[in-house]
């Protein structure tokens, strides 16, 4: 059952209506044994998800009748597109080593600058 609060103007009563039982990404994730994020990535065809996992998730999505909500999909795409990096640092390296080429010839320094 879906509960709607104050569904009528001026009404504070709870109204209960049957839900349509539309499968969600969480439902697919539970059945597939993967995370909700993996389902989201798989449904969008991300290269971060293996081909076999994508096929498994898509198979379950088809079987359960999952339908992408175009409004939510558009909103999420816009959010992903406009997301900025929360923190970005700049690191400066100063060569105080006696060898001018220490950044490339020192046994450990090159690991930190590559």
| pLDDT score recorded for residue 3 | 42
**Which residue from 39, 18, 25 is spatially nearest to 69, judged by alpha carbons?**
25
- Start-to-end CA distance of the chain, whole Å, equals 56
pLDDT the model gives residue 25: 93
Q: What is the pLDDT of residue 54?
A: 97
- Measured distance CA(62)–CA(5) in Å, rounded: 33
The pLDDT of residue 92: 81
pTM over 0.85: no
Q: What averages of pLDDT result for each successive group of 10 residues across the chain (114 residues)? A: 45 48 92 96 94 97 92 87 76 80 79 72
Q: Alpha carbon 42 to chain centroid distance?
A: 10
The yes or no reply on domain 22-81 and CATH 1.10.260.40 is yes
Structure token digits, residue 11: 């009404």
Question: Cα–Cα distance between 105 and 26 in angstroms, integer?
Answer: 52
Determine phi and psi for 15, rounding to 5 degrees. Answer: -115, 130
Domain ranges for the chain, please list them. 22-81
What is the torsional sign of CA 96, 100, 104, 106?
negative
User: From CA 25, how far away is CA 20, in angstroms rounded?
Assistant: 15
Q: How far apart are CA 42 and CA 82, in angstroms?
A: 21
Q: What is the pLDDT of residue 73?
A: 86
């Amino acid at each position: 059952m879906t509960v709607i609060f104050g569904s009528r103007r001026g009404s504070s009563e709870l109204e209960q209506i049957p839900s349509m039982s539309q499968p969600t990404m969480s439902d697919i994730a539970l059945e597939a044994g993967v995370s909700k994020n993996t389902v989201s990535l798989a449904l969008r065809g991300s290269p971060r998800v293996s081909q076999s996992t994508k096929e498994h998730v898509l198979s379950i999505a088809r079987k359960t009748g999952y339908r992408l909500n175009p409004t939510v999909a558009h909103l999420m795409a816009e959010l992903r597109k406009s997301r900025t990096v929360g923190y970005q640092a700049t690191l400066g390296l100063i060569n105080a080593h006696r060898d001018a080429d220490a950044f490339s010839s020192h046994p450990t320094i090159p690991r930190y600058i590559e």
